[in-house]
Amino acid sequence: MSLDKFNIIESTLREGEQFVGANFTTEQKIRIAHALDGFGVEYIELTSPLASPQSNTDAKIIADLGLKARVLTHIRCNQEDAAVALDTGVDGLDVVIGTSSYLRQFSHGKSIDQIIDLAADVLGYIRAQAPHIELRFSTEDSFRSDEADLFRVYLAVDRLGVVNRLGIADTVGIATPMQVYRLINTLRHMTRADIEFHGHNDSGCAVANAFAALEAGATHIDTSVLGIGERNGITPLGGFVARMYTHNRELVKNKYRLDRLRRLDEMVAEMVGVAVPFNNYITGVTAFTHKAGIHAKAILNNPETYEALNPRDFGLTRYISIAHKLTGWNAVKDRADQLGVVLSDDEVKAVTAHIKALADIKPIDLEDVDELLHRWADRGNGTAEKG
């Protein structure tokens, strides 16, 4: 079942380079490639070598790093691009051409028949030049393409017998999980090749769509660190990993070095000049923060009560926020224990009542709570003044 046999095609160095803040130097690309490889992604996709002279040089450098991950580059569907890309020494080529009426009319101007002929020429040429290269053919804007057109193209390409993978792209981020499931499930039954899904996040479904793609039989999912890409980007690596972890924890723990995710998110965020969002999957500052007293109590008894992800698996720790009006005495008691402050349950309950009353009047922080706990303990010991 492909849900348990999925591959990540990590596109921070391709789709991610299309993020407005990204302008990676060669040295940064090498650092990202090593970090992704260390994390354990199966593939790393690079910007087309046709994009600029530096892109070409960098593709060669990264293809030559000897990474465990397979290195791919991404090209338009034409022979000149293919020839240049083959020359970089990458392990695979991701070929793409638009099939929606928008792209046929406003981008390359080709009919579906012309697309099929061109794909046959280009893919046949690549396979002849490089019998062992991994070859993918994808349609851009798959979900706004006419479905009959789309299947004509995929069936023709699959029949050529030269591609390893067919790609589906939700280029403008409008597909729903049901639509993704339907399209990929149909493709799965009509073709033999592996199936890749590339989903943009404009309407917030990128992670769910990637999962639906796998449920329908896809084998490869495109991601980027923090989801960076055109506009608001694609399926984020961390979000996808979180989704798969909740599906099969052991598999994901064995497949990837999860403790490296935070560093990866932070490194890329810094390189592209953004902060890791507070509510980011796994690595956002609030991802493992608990607040309400009722939650805190249960978390202290058994964290799984309110945590589907174990922060320790990601090298992270949980935080229980206690300096607020929703706090509860179990969490306050836990804090007292951390501080080595000895108080009876009744005393902790009294401090908690005090914290709540205070928080109703003004914002308070952990320091205020700690001070109250110390003050209460000192009172009990008769070392502070009463009152």
Instruction: Return d(Cα 106, Cα 333) in angstroms, integer.
Output: 65
34 labelled catalytic: no
- Does 48 bind ligand HCA (CB under 6 A)? Our answer is no
Least separation in angstroms between CB 222 and ligand HCA? 7
CB 364 within 8 A of CB 351: no
CA 155 → CA 104, 117, 130, 158, 202, distances in Å? 19, 13, 22, 5, 29
Binding span for ligand HCA by CB under 6 A among 164-172, 261-269, 302-310, 331-339: 164-172
Position of tokens 């914002």? 363
Task: Spot the catalytic one: 290, 295, 324, 354.
Answer: 295
CB nearer ligand HCA, residue 67 or residue 221: 221
Supply 280's token pair: 């980011």
Binding span for ligand HCA by CB under 6 A among 113-121, 167-175, 210-218, 343-351: 167-175
Parallel/antiparallel/unpaired status of strands 165-170 and 194-199? parallel
Binding span for ligand HCA by CB under 6 A among 56-64, 117-125, 144-152, 165-173: 165-173
Q: Where are the beta strands (DSSP E) in the chain?
A: 7-10, 43-46, 70-76, 92-98, 134-140, 165-170, 194-199, 220-223, 289-290, 319-320
Supply 51's token pair: 């994009």
Least separation in angstroms between CB 146 and ligand HCA? 17
Over the window 7 to 46, marking each residue x when it contacts Cu ion by CB under 5 A and - when it does not, the resulting string is --------x-------------------------------
| Nearest residue to ligand HCA, scored by beta-carbon proximity | 171
Instruction: Return d(Cα 350, Cα 337) in angstroms, integer.
Output: 16
- Does 94 bind ligand HCA (CB under 6 A)? Our answer is yes
Residue 104 interacts with, from Cu ion, ligand HCA, none (CB under 5-8 Å by kind): none
Residue 140 interacts with, from Cu ion, ligand HCA, none (CB under 5-8 Å by kind): ligand HCA
Residues carrying an active site annotation: 295
